[in-house]
A and B are shown apart, each in its own frame.
Chain A
């Protein structure tokens, strides 16, 4: 304990010394920045990373926390934020929602972190949200999700449901002339909300028909009967939001039953490159995913990002939609803090809401922060190949985020 104290004092001294030598470059008064009650010194600012390292969700959350660490490392290499290096305190949410609430409180109350990057499932966010609102923390949440939420204390870097769903449905109706749809998802709020929006759009806007709607328990590995029903109904499009390990069973059994990309259009909301690892590219070949980001996206930002990610986390790592959205978090935070000239949460939030923050360096191309705390982004439809990468076949215009969509409630 003592040695730590000594080291941190030493760091402070060095920091001050450096600060004096670099004072000409830093125009911000440190005093005002350091007395926000957050863990900010002249040399460093602390942030939290809160994802599941253990339990069932570790599968999905690994990529997100790797991306957050990469962004933070890059920001530090560029000199940090307001001249301060970012220090990470990482906590394990253990795939357990109360643990997310508990660890959020620890990060905010004990560690006094200036921002938290984390949560993956809606359930973990819902558990942590009251803590962030009560302690006035700031959470950057990376997952595409059902919407229906807008908190002063959360910045949503993934897409909300309408951004993801509508453009994809429009595309499939236009390209494939689809009229009949079979909806299938895992049984919890995100797939149900997404399917609700999809159904309204199919029936009211596209003039199509939903011929079946199914929800399977999380972790379900038996899809035989559903697949038979699909064969009986012969829908033009299978529209799927199956999540987690169930996906593997779902696609393997589809293929085994002779339903392949050559015979049938399948559009999924929930398969990213991360899931493909487990599903196997050969089982997905010819099916479509609708996301805002694919690893194969061909632009300079993305090439640099993929290279940096692989340098840091190994050549065989893959990058999915949520991983990329998680990567945006620290950069959006940096932009807002610099606009605000302070780490103070209220000031950072105000800057996020009012100053039209945009990232031209985002791997997905370009995003802009909307006053409603979500991002303007483009939606893409891509076709999966055998090697586990996707070929983008359609890119939408920039879509405004709308977490409380009128007419879809």
Chain B
């Protein structure tokens, strides 16, 4: 029990934060919002996966990746390929010159399914691909960069170039990828219609529970010895190296983990929104993901979820109310966060939110009650003769 409490929930404060967030996402929002808004929240929470991955990678590892969109996109595309194949059965595509292949292939004169699409007929393979394709990709990038001690700004810019390459490639190879339109009009998962209201509710909760699992897993990683090494590396990389650790292996590992986490978000995005497009692979979404993490607090797993929700909700609200002005507001928000609240929402919470809960900690009677309980236990023990 102690292990779970300390390692997974992060002690008392962590547990309180986690409980509040869980209540918000699993109870309060579903009860308060109609399905349309809830579906939006679900979409935002898929971005939160990428933000959480950045806590590991950037907040603790000190590695800023401007390419998380690449992994988010890869995960999303893997899922989209499976769903698209299911939506392209010969019956529903009979007006095409070649029935049974996705419509965009038919528009580009492909007459048979490309070989790398074939395995995505299997859901099992797709789930594996969602996790492994980004991981392998991250391993290749990470291995070649970290082994050569590329870091910091250069890593950030190279990941940006990779995001650009992938975008140009996806848009240019439209016969195989759906091009700039992306892979659209996804309908069913094993016959289960993901566009139905009931499905949207179910997917929202699946997504939320997955997000919590990922947060718990990340917490577990960060509170382990590995997490401490990450922090140490961030501050004094050479010292860690001189202590006999292979720094690059740790970096590669955390980069792969963060890629997998982002990819899960991407796959859930595809399921909830019903399409995937190259606009998630590019540079802008990747930077936006970093901004969600920065606003929420790059060191706080819980904070970044709030950050993601706040920025996206702000975007939606602003753009509904002042469509012309929202970019000013967004820009100002980022600048303000970076300048005055470097630890984001979580930093503000730690500074001021503690006061709210301070009185709880000062409640002496909790201690009194506990000691009474302890006494009771002792008495019991004596009685039962243990």
Interface residues in chain A, defined as those with a beta carbon under 8 Å from any beta carbon in chain B = 53-54, 90-92, 94, 96-99, 101-102, 105-106, 109-110, 121-123, 126-127, 129-130, 134, 146, 148, 187-189, 192-193, 196, 215, 217-218, 404, 409
B321-354: CB near A (< 8 Å → 1, else 0) gives 0011011000000000000000000000000000
* A217 close to B168 (CB less than 8 A): yes
Q: Could you say which of B181, B274, B277 contacts A189, with CB atoms under 8 Å apart? A: B181
Q: Could you say which of A102, A129, A148 contacts B184, with CB atoms under 8 Å apart? A: A129
> A106-B36, A109-B36 known; A192 and B277 CB under 8 Å?
no
* A123 close to B174 (CB less than 8 A): no
* A1 to B: closest C-beta gap in Å: 14
Q: Is B99 an interface residue (CB 8 A)?
A: no
User: Interface on chain B toward A: helix, strand, loop, or mixed SS?
Assistant: helix
* A196 close to B109 (CB less than 8 A): yes
Complex formed: what's the CA distance from A98 to B280 in Å? 9
Q: Is B182 an interface residue (CB 8 A)?
A: yes
* B107 close to A189 (CB less than 8 A): yes
Q: List 16 A-B contacts (CB under 8 A).
A: A91-B320, A98-B273, A98-B277, A109-B36, A123-B180, A123-B182, A126-B182, A127-B182, A129-B185, A130-B185, A130-B186, A148-B103, A188-B174, A188-B179, A217-B172, A409-B109
Complex formed: what's the CA distance from A92 to B184 in Å? 21
CB neighbours (8 Å) of A130 from chain B are 184-186, 195, 274-275
Complex formed: what's the CA distance from A13 to B277 in Å? 48
Complex formed: what's the CA distance from A18 to B97 in Å? 57
Q: Could you say which of A53, A92, A127, A409 contacts B275, with CB atoms under 8 Å apart? A: A127
CB neighbours (8 Å) of B273 from chain A are 98, 101
Within 8 A of A (CB), among B236-278: 273-275, 277
* A104 to B: closest C-beta gap in Å: 11
Interface size range on B against A: 35 or more
Which of B34, B277, B280, B316 has most A Cβ within 10 Å? B277
Number of residue pairs spanning A and B whose beta carbons lie under 8 angstroms apart? 96
* A98 to B: closest C-beta gap in Å: 6
> A54-B323, A109-B36 known; A127 and B184 CB under 8 Å?
yes
Find the B residue at minimum CB distance from A147. B107
Complex formed: what's the CA distance from A96 to B40 in Å? 15
Complex formed: what's the CA distance from A126 to B186 in Å? 11
Within 8 A of A (CB), among B179-226: 179-182, 184-186, 195
Q: Top 8 closest A-B pairs, CB basis?
A: A92-B323, A188-B180, A126-B181, A123-B181, A126-B184, A53-B323, A109-B36, A92-B319
* A217 close to B108 (CB less than 8 A): no
Complex formed: what's the CA distance from A187 to B169 in Å? 10
CB neighbours (8 Å) of A97 from chain B are 181-182, 275, 277, 279
* B195 close to A134 (CB less than 8 A): yes
CB neighbours (8 Å) of B277 from chain A are 97-98, 123, 127
* A313 to B: closest C-beta gap in Å: 15
> A54-B326, A91-B320 known; A187 and B36 CB under 8 Å?
no
CB neighbours (8 Å) of A146 from chain B are 107
> A130-B274, A218-B171 known; A90 and B323 CB under 8 Å?
yes
CB neighbours (8 Å) of A92 from chain B are 319, 323, 326
Complex formed: what's the CA distance from A126 to B182 in Å? 9
CB neighbours (8 Å) of A134 from chain B are 195
CB neighbours (8 Å) of B43 from chain A are 98, 102
Q: Is B128 an interface residue (CB 8 A)?
A: no
* A207 to B: closest C-beta gap in Å: 22
Complex formed: what's the CA distance from A130 to B186 in Å? 8
Find the B residue at minimum CB distance from A125. B181
* B275 to A: closest C-beta gap in Å: 6
Q: Is B95 an interface residue (CB 8 A)?
A: yes
* A189 close to B174 (CB less than 8 A): yes
* A96 close to B172 (CB less than 8 A): no
* A54 close to B171 (CB less than 8 A): no
* B275 close to A187 (CB less than 8 A): no
* A346 to B: closest C-beta gap in Å: 19
Find the B residue at minimum CB distance from A409. B97
* A215 close to B275 (CB less than 8 A): no
Find the B residue at minimum CB distance from A131. B274
* B279 close to A187 (CB less than 8 A): no
CB neighbours (8 Å) of B34 from chain A are 110
Other than A54-B319, A127-B277, A189-B104, give 17 A-B pairs with Cβ distance below 8 A. A91-B319, A91-B320, A94-B319, A96-B279, A98-B275, A98-B279, A101-B275, A106-B36, A123-B180, A126-B184, A126-B185, A130-B186, A187-B171, A188-B174, A188-B180, A193-B107, A217-B172
